[in-house]
Structure 1
Amino acid sequence: CLLLIWISALAIAVGTSARQIPAERENRTIFPLLAKPITRGQLIAGKFLGCWLACGLALIVFYFFFGVISVSREHQWAAASFFQALWLHWWMLGVVVAMTLLGSVVFAAPSSNGTICLLIILSILLLGRHLNKVAVQLAEPMSGVVSAVYFAVPHLELFDVRDLVVHNWDPINWLICVGATLYAAAYAIFFLFATWLVFRRQPLV
């Protein structure tokens, strides 16, 4: 069930974020928005917050029903572990939303943006933690390139703490949880800043 929640949440995050700015351009509603006046940076921030909060609401619903099912079957509920899983999942989606918004001002169509972002995100989730091991086995300069990629990409797999919920384990150290939150916030801000840098130089039509 938690794997299905992760897949659904990724689809919602990428699907909603990929079409935000392109849809405004296509429908020409971006002109009255920027004439209010709203800066391009404020527009990007608003789109990000809207998509991120929508993902948060969806996660609350998903985790609520999963919690109800778990309690009905196991008659116990690790509230702290559930909260950490939900919290870290939400912040991971913040990075995904910001990354997809950057893609929406780089790639021409929402479909191509969504596909590319999903491939990148899935690659990070599945392969990201193994890149350093691969780098050790390679010769230079490829070893340096792979190592640079390993340290540059956001390691979204760090936010996958489903085992806490599945096995009813004790919650992780709260300082680690705070550190992961700051890590996600830093990457989200970086992607949003990059989105603003690209978007401010683009014509609206």
Structure 2
Amino acid sequence: MAREAADEQRPGRRVRGRQGALPAEGFLRPLCADGGHHAADGLVDFFCLLLIWISALVIAVGTSARQIPSERENRTVFPLLAKPITRGQLIAGKFLGCWLACGLALIVFYLFFGVISVSREHQLPMASYFQALWLHWWMLGVVVAMALLGSVLFAAPSSNATICLLLILGILLLGRHLNKVAVQLAEPMSTVVYVVYFAVPHLELFDVRDLVVHNWDPINWLVCVGATFYAAAYAIFFLFAAWLVFRRQPLV
């Protein structure tokens, strides 16, 4: 998807293709910059974007994981549902609030990052920046919906946040390699791993930091639109699952 399209535009893609076997490829690939001062600039951009990704994930999971439990603990869920609004509307409102807050945080992060980049490189590939920000935001939509589902499944926000972060980290680092693992396994484990591979949301597809780090041309806009619908489908699925669980739960 978006990540694969960015890889197609990568110089020397066939020469470095074997690096795709590394589990940490999603985070370490942008370090393969050209030599000279371009390598130093790429290294700074890489670590800045890495900090943005880590911070955004912590914000998204931390805010979403405590929404429903805090309403129950403070007993503010009763006046909310007496408006009247349904439990589904409550889930949707919590999702939109957290997702929009993550979007505002991303805008601030990318704005400061853009200022730093312009001060050093005196150029700003606006299309690539927009795609990186847009896809990152939609990826966080999936994360927020996943954390909201966890908030109605797990008792404590801390356990929910920990499990969600571990799952997200596992998907980002290992998700793309599950099909390769499945080929090497015997049945029925091979089928099980394949099912997991096709079922999990591949969040690594939204990681197009290479476009910004190496000043590459933007990916095809149709690919960007397809990735948007992909994220929307998973977010809707997680929200629907959260509603199915929450509507049958007692409020206290």
1:126-182 C-alpha deviation (Å, 9 max, x unpaired):
000000000001111110000000000000000000000000000000000000000
How far did 1:106 drift? 0.1
CA apart distance, 1:191: 0.2
CA distance in 2, matches of 1:35, 1:104: 21
Question: How many angstroms does 1:102 deviate by?
Answer: 0.1
Q: Cα offset for 1:199?
A: 0.1
**Distance (whole Å) between structure 2 residues aligned to residue 16 and residue 183 of structure 1:** 23
Give, in angstroms, the shift of residue 101 of structure 1. Answer: 0.1
- Kindly provide the CA deviation profile for residues 38-74 of structure 1, in whole angstroms up to 9, marking residues without a partner as x: 1000000000000000000000000000000001100
TM-score by length of 2: 0.81
Cross-structure match for 1:182: 229
1:60 aligns with 2:94: no
Residue 35 of structure 1 and its aligned partner are, at CA, apart by 0.4
- Tell me which structure has the larger Cα radius of gyration: 2
Pairwise CA distance, 1:125: 0.3
Offset at residue 33 of structure 1 (A): 0.3
Partner of 1:72: 119
CA distance, structure 2, for counterparts of residue 169 and residue 64 of structure 1: 19
TM-score by length of 1: 1.00
Could you tell me which of 152, 156, 180 is aligned with 1:133?
180
Following superposition, which runs of at least 4 residues in structure 1 exceed 4 angstroms of deviation? Answer: none
Match of 1:16 among 47, 63, 71: 63
Counterpart residue number, 2:241: 194
CA distance in 2, matches of 1:32, 1:123: 39
Aligned length: 205
Q: Distance in 2 between matches of 1:92 and 1:69?
A: 24
Mapped to 1, the partners of 2:146 and 2:121 lie a distance apart of: 38
